[in-house]
Amino acid sequence: MNEQVISGYKSQSLGLHGTIPGADQLREKAFSNFEAQGFPTKKSEDWRYSDMRQFHKQAYGLVDHAAKPELPDMLGETAARFVFINGRYSEDLSDLGDLWQAISIRPLANHFMSNEYRVNELITGTDAVSCLNTAMLRDGLVLSVPAGVEIDDPIEIVHVMSDASNQAAHVRHVVELGEYAAVSVIERFIGDDSAYWTNSVLQARVTEGAKLRHIRVQEDGANAVHTAKSYINLDGGSEYICTNVALGGKMSRFDAEVRILVDGAKAIVNGVALAGSGQSHDMHVHISHIAPHSSSDQVFRTVADSHGKTSFQGKITVAKDAQRTLADQSFKALIFDKTAEANAKPELEILADDVKCSHGATVGQLDDKAIFYLTSRGIDPETARQMLVAAFTAEALEKIEFDDIKEALSGRIATWMLTRTATPKA
Amino acid sequence: MAATAKTKQQVEDMSGDYKYGFSTDVDMDMAPKGLSEDVIRFISAKKDEPSWMLDWRLKAYRAWLKMEEPNWAKLNYPKIDYNDIYFYAAPKSQNKPKSLDEVDPEILRMYEKLGIPLREQEVLAGVEGAAKVAVDAVFDSVSVATTFREELSKAGVIFMSISEAVKEYPDLVKKYLGTVVPQRDNYFAALNCAVYTDGTFVYIPKGVRCPMELSTYFRINTENTGQFERTLIIAEEGSYVSYLEGCTAPMRDENQLHAAVVELITLENAEIKYSTVQNWYPGDKDGKGGIYNFVTKRALLKGDNSKVSWTQVETGSAVTWKYPSCILAGDNSVGEFYSVAVTNNYQQADTGTKMIHMGKNTSSTIISKGISAGKSHNTYRGLVKVLSGADNVRNYTQCDSLLVSSTSGAHTVPYIEVRNPSAQIEHEATTSKISDDQLFYCRARGLDEEEAVAMIVNGFCKEVMQHLPMEFAVEAQKLLGISLEGSVG
C-alpha cells in the first residue's frame, strides 16, 4: 500500500492526541491494526463489489474549518436535533429540546473526561475502515438512556459536509440503552458537491428488554464517498430495528454488525438503495446469533439505473448454542438496463441444528405484465413504473414506525424515479 | 425434536464403516516421490507421449510453481506436502491387455467385491433388457480394461483413455484439451495439467446418440499416490451422451490427494449428462485419513441450443472442493446442476456450481441439498453471473440444508451478479432440521418415527436423485443409507 497514504493518516492520528481523554492508546492500537492490513482492494472478499481505488491514491485530510451551510428540514417530528458540520459537533446549530431532562447526551470528549477508563468500551473494529475511524477518534455523541425511559419522538443527528474536497470526517456515536428503555435515532448524511469522505461508526449496547430504532438516510453529495458501520450488541429480549436508505454519494457502503448475545432478542435490518448513473451502493449485514431463542429479519430492496450498481452481502451466522433461532433474509434487486449491475451474496453459516433459517434473492426488471395491467387502466407507463418501484421499495420501509418519516422517505424515492434517464422498454 | 437415533445411525454408518475399505496387492510401477520437471518428464516418457504433450505439461508446471494454494473455501486441512506424494503409479504390466481375460485377476476380483460388474455378461447384475454400460476402468492411473469398444466404434463414438487418445487422435485432443479449463485456471487444475496420469476421452460425432451410458469407475490404490485424472468429453452437433462417474477407494490411514479436471464441450444442439457418485474414503470417526478431493469440472456450452446437466451425489472424501460449472456461451443453451452432499464425522465439503450466462435466452437450474451429521461441515458455494449481452436469462436456484446433529455445520454462500435487466434470477435457500410438523403429519397417518424420518429425508433429496440414471440411483440410495422402502427413485 502507498506509503504516503499511510504516513498521511499517521500524522493526522498523532495530531489528535490529547483531544479525547484516555483515547490516545486506543487510537494507536487501531492505527497499527489499520496499518497492518491497509485499505481493502477488489480482491478483499468483503469489498469485492466496491471500488476502493480512491482510498489508495491519497490520504483524505481532516477537515479543519467549520462552514455555515444551510440545514435541511427535519424529516418529521423529532424530539431533538444534533448537528455535525464537517465531522465536528455544532452546539449552536443543535436543538436539544427538553431531552436533557430525560437522558444524558454528551459529546465524546466530555463523556470521557469524567470516566476515562470507559474509552475501552469503544469498539476498535477489525476492518481497515473501522480501525481508521477509531484511529481518527475526534467527535461524536454519547447517548445514554436510563432504565425504563422511553423517548417517543426520534432524535435526529444530521451530518453536513461542506467545502471539504479530499477531506474526511470520522464520526463516532455511542448509544447505551438501560433495561427496558426505548429510543429512536435518525442519522442523516448530507453534503455539497465537494469530493469528501464520510466515515461514520455507531455503536450501541441494547440491554435487557430495551428497544433501539435506527433510521439512516444517506443523501451525501454527488462526489462523496460514504462508509459507515453499526456495531449493535443485543441483550435478552431486546430489539433492534434498523432501516438504511442509501440515495447519495458516488460510492457508499453500509455495514451492520449485529450480535445477539442473550436469549430472546430480535434484530431487524432493512434497507433501500437507489443507484443512479455512476453510483455504487454496497450494503453488508452480518447478524450473529450467539444465544438461543432469538430471531432476525432482513429485507433489502435495491434499484439500479443506467451505469448504477447496487450490491448486497448479508450473512447470518448461528452459533452452536443458538438453538431455536429463526432467521430470514430477503433481497430483491431491479436493474433498468444493460449498464446497470446488481450483485448479491446472501450467506448462511449455521452450527446449530434446531433452527429455521432461510434466504431468498431475486434480480430482474419491472414486470411487463404489471406495467401492462396498469397502462390498460389508463395510467401512463411512466407513472406505472413509479408506482411499481414505490410498491417494490415499500416493503423495506415497512418497519419504520413513524408515518411522517416513512412518507418523507417514500417521497425521496418518488422524486428519484422522476429523474431517471433509462426508460426500460416494455 | 431432533432426527431419530436410527436415522442418525444410518447416516453415521455411511461413512463410519467403510465397507469398500480393502486394498489390492498388485505390483506398482512408480515415479520417485515428489514433484519436479524430471518427474513430469518421467510420467510423460512412461506414457510414451508426443513431445507437444510434454511441453504442455511443463508449461502448466511452471505456472503452478508461481501459483498459491487457494484458501477461500470453508475447509481446514493440514498443509499438503507435494514432495511427499507419488505422482505416478501404474500396475506393472509389460504389455497392454488385449481383452478382459488378460487383466490382472486381482483387479477384477476387487471390482467384483465392490459389486461393479466389469465383465460384459455381468452388466447390471445380468438384468435382462437393462441398458448396457460400458466401463473404462481406471486402476490407479492407467486404464486397464475397456469394454464395449466395438459397439461404440460402430456408432463412431470414441471412448478410450486419454493417454491413448493423445496418441491416436492427437488433433482432437490438441484442439480441445485445456480450452475449458486452461492450464493456469487454478492451483489444482494447473497441478493436474502438469502431472495427470490418465483419464477418459469421449468424442461423440455429429448427430449420434451414444447407444449406451458410458461409465468409468475410478479407484485409488497404493499409499500416498495422488490420482490426477483428466476427462475430456466432446459432443459434436446434435449428439447426446450420458456419462457416469463413480468412485470407491480402499481404506488407508494417510491422506490421499486427488485433483481431477473434467472438461465438457457441447456444440450446437448437443447434450451431455454427467452423473457422479463420489464415495471415496472419508476418514475414520476421529477424522483421521481420508481423501482430499480437489476437482475442477467445467462445461463449455459452445453451440446454440446445447445442454449440460451435472448431477452429483457426494458422500465420501475427507475434504471436498468441487464446483462443476457451466459456461453458457451458445444462445438458448441450458445448464443444470443437481447435487446431494452428505457429510459426517469430520468430513468437510465445500461444493456448488458456477453458471456463467453469456448467450441469449440461456437458462440454468441449480438444486443443491446438503445433509450434515456428526461434526462435519457442509458448504454450498455458487455463482450465477449474467453478462450484459445475455438477454432473457433465466435462473432458478434452490439450496437446502438439513442438519442431523447439533455439532455439524451447514453453510450457504451464493453469489449473484447480474448486468442485464431482462434476466430473471431467483434464489432460495433454507436451513433447518426435520420439522416436527412433518413428522407429526406422517405419524398421524400411521408411520412410525423411523419410517417418517426416512420418508422426509428421501423427499428432501428426491429432486436430485430423480436426475440420476437408474443404475446410479440405486447405488446412491444405498449410499445415503436411509431405508427407502421404494419411495424414492
Verify whether the Cβ–Cβ distance B410 to A343 is below 8 Å: no
| pLDDT, tens only, A391-424 | 999 999 999 999 999 999 999 999 998 887 545 4
Residue A244: CB atoms within 10 A of its CB come to 26
For residue B421, give the nearest of A45, A337, A348 by CB distance: A337
- Residues in chain B with pLDDT < 70? 1-29, 89-150, 216-226, 247-255, 450, 453-454, 471, 474-475, 477-489
The reported pLDDT for the residue numbered B486 is: 27
Query: What total of structural domains would you count in chain A?
Result: 1
Verify whether the Cβ–Cβ distance B408 to A363 is below 8 Å: no
Verify whether the Cβ–Cβ distance A338 to B389 is below 8 Å: yes
Verify whether the Cβ–Cβ distance B418 to A357 is below 8 Å: no
Residue B63's SS3 state is helix
The string of DSSP letters for B342-358 reads EE-TT-EEEE--EEEE-
B138 vs B124: CA distance, rounded Å: 19
Mutation target to probe the B interface, by most B beta carbons within 10 A, among A348, A355, A385 is: A348
Residue by residue, what is the 3-state secondary structure of chain A?
Answer: CCHHHHHHHHHHHHHCCCCCCCCHHHHHHHHHHHHHHCCCCCCCHHHCCCCCHHHHHCCCEECCCCCCCCCCCCCCCCCEEEEEECCEEEEEEEECCCHHHCCEEEEHHHHHHHCHHHHHHCCCCCCHHHHHHHHCCCECEEEEECCCCECCCCEEEEEEECCCCCEEEEEEEEEEECCCCEEEEEEEEEECCCCCEEEEEEEEEECCCCEEEEEEEEECCCCCEEEEEEEEEECCCCEEEEEEEECCCCEEEEEEEEEECCCCCEEEEEEEEEECCCCEEEEEEEEEECCCCCEEEEEEEEEECCCCEEEEEEEEEECCCCCCCEEEEEEEEEECCCCCEEEEEEEEEECCCCCEEEEEEEEECCCHHHHHHHHHCCCCHHHHHHHHHHHHHHHHHCCCCCHHHHHHHHHHHHHHHHCCCCCCCC
For residue B73, list chain A residues with Cβ-Cβ distance below 8 A. none
Verify whether the Cβ–Cβ distance A344 to B415 is below 8 Å: yes
Verify whether the Cβ–Cβ distance A320 to B406 is below 8 Å: yes
- Domain range summary for chain B, segments of one domain joined by +: 30-433
Higher pLDDT, A312 or B164: A312
Strands B394-403 and B363-372 come out as parallel
Contact B433, B2 (CB under 8 A): yes
Q: Is the pLDDT of residue A381 over 80?
A: yes
The reported pLDDT for the residue numbered A66 is: 73
Verify whether the Cβ–Cβ distance B431 to A356 is below 8 Å: yes
Verify whether the Cβ–Cβ distance A347 to B406 is below 8 Å: no
The reported pLDDT for the residue numbered B129 is: 36
Interface of A with B (CB under 8 A): 45, 320, 323, 333-365, 424
- Check residue B80 and report its DSSP letter: P
Report residue B265 as a C-alpha cell.
464441450
Q: Is the pLDDT of residue A103 over 70?
A: yes
The reported pLDDT for the residue numbered A349 is: 92
B12 vs B8: CA distance, rounded Å: 6
B391 vs B369: CA distance, rounded Å: 29
Domain, as residue range, for A25: 3-262
Q: Which of A176-190, A323-337, B80-94, B431-445 has the lowest mean pLDDT?
A: B80-94
Q: How far is A377 from chain B (nearest CA, A)?
A: 24
Q: How high is the ipTM of this complex?
A: 0.83
Distant-in-sequence, close-in-space partners of B66: CB < 8 Å, separation ≥ 6: none
Count chain A–chain B contacts defined by CB atoms under 8 A.
Answer: 124
For residue A339, list chain B residues with Cβ-Cβ distance below 8 A. 388, 419
| pLDDT, tens only, A260-306 | 999 999 999 999 999 999 999 999 999 999 999 999 999 999 999 99
The reported pLDDT for the residue numbered B94 is: 44
Domain assignment of residue A386, yes or no: no
The reported pLDDT for the residue numbered B466 is: 83
Task: State the sign of the Cα–Cα–Cα–Cα dihedral B72, B76, B82, B88.
Answer: negative
For residue B414, give the nearest of A345, A351, A364 by CB distance: A345
